[in-house]
Amino acid sequence: MLDLKNIIWKSLSGSQKNIALGGEDVRRFKRGVSELVGFVDNVSPNFDELAELSKPGDSSYSVDWSGPVPSGWGVLEEMRADQMMWRLDMVDTPQIDIVPLNENYLVQMLDLIELTRPGPFQPGTIEMGDYFGVFDQGELVAMAGERLFANPFREISGVCTRPGYEGRGLARSLMQLLIGRQLQRNEVPFLHVVEANINAKRIYEKMGFESVRKTIIRQIVRT
């Protein structure tokens, strides 16, 4: 049965292996694309193999690994999160002007990410899927895009709104566009939401997402 368990490994060894590095036990995305790392075995991860893919001071993000931290590694942050999956057959069509984002908009995208901090995002993250934004007088005020892809599961990520523009439904409209495109491709939209972000989880539930798994997200560093 297909599910979201070990979704990073499934992405790195499947639909996104073209932008992955690593071997049989550990894989991560290319430098500058994403700091996400996947283990084939989340109970006993092969940190020796991860060390070969990492430099001292490098940080990575894992999902589903919650075991003891081996020597030579540290945990910078640990968060409990929900994996939420889209459960409806359709989605409303957004009624606002939405612009496809590419490398020409990267400076504005990175500025918005730095301002709002929706989660890990690097210059090459736009290689992981499609990104869209909303502009106001030339300024990027909201964006959303796609990150992990383990067919048929496609993750919605990087959802953020510039302060002062909240409450206008901009992020929701961007997500609706992405969900509609994914459904047309017979994909299953999903996302991660930190357990402490109760308001975001409620919004996603109202939209049509359902929590299907609890997991642990760790930011780890090679010391």
Q: Residue 67's pLDDT band (boundaries 50, 70, 90)? A: very high
The domain boundary, picked from 79, 106, 137, lies at 79
Statement to judge: residues 167 and 91 lie in one domain? yes
- The 209-222 sheet, strands edge to edge: 59-63, 209-222, 73-86, 188-194, 153-161, 139-150, 131-136, 99-101
Is 117 a domain residue?
yes
Tokens, residue 37: 């790392």
Helices and strands per DSSP (H, E), number in the chain: 5, 11
| pLDDT reported for residue 84 | 98
Full domain range(s) for residue 57: 7-79
Is 222 a domain residue?
no
Q: Is 124 helix (H, G, I), strand (E, B) or coil?
A: helix
When the pLDDT of each residue in the chain is averaged and rounded to a whole number, the result is 96
Statement to judge: residues 43 and 142 lie in one domain? no
Is 176 a domain residue?
yes
The domain boundary, picked from 28, 61, 79, lies at 79
**CA atoms 131, 94, 97, 172: torsion sign:** negative
Is 145 a domain residue?
yes
Q: Residue 1's pLDDT band (boundaries 50, 70, 90)? A: low
Looking up residue 96, the CATH number of its domain turns out to be 3.40.630.30
Distance between CA atoms of residues 22 and 32, nearest Å: 15
Q: What is the pLDDT of residues 106-164, one digit of tens each?
A: 999 999 999 999 999 999 999 999 999 999 999 999 999 999 999 999 999 999 999 99
Statement to judge: residues 60 and 122 lie in one domain? no
Is 196 a domain residue?
yes
Query: Is residue 77 predicted with pLDDT exceeding 60?
Result: yes
Statement to judge: residues 116 and 189 lie in one domain? yes
Percentage, residues of the chain above pLDDT 90? 99
| Average pLDDT rounded to a whole number, residues 80-108 | 96
Statement to judge: residues 95 and 179 lie in one domain? yes
Query: Is residue 10 predicted with pLDDT exceeding 80?
Result: yes
The domain boundary, picked from 79, 94, 118, lies at 79
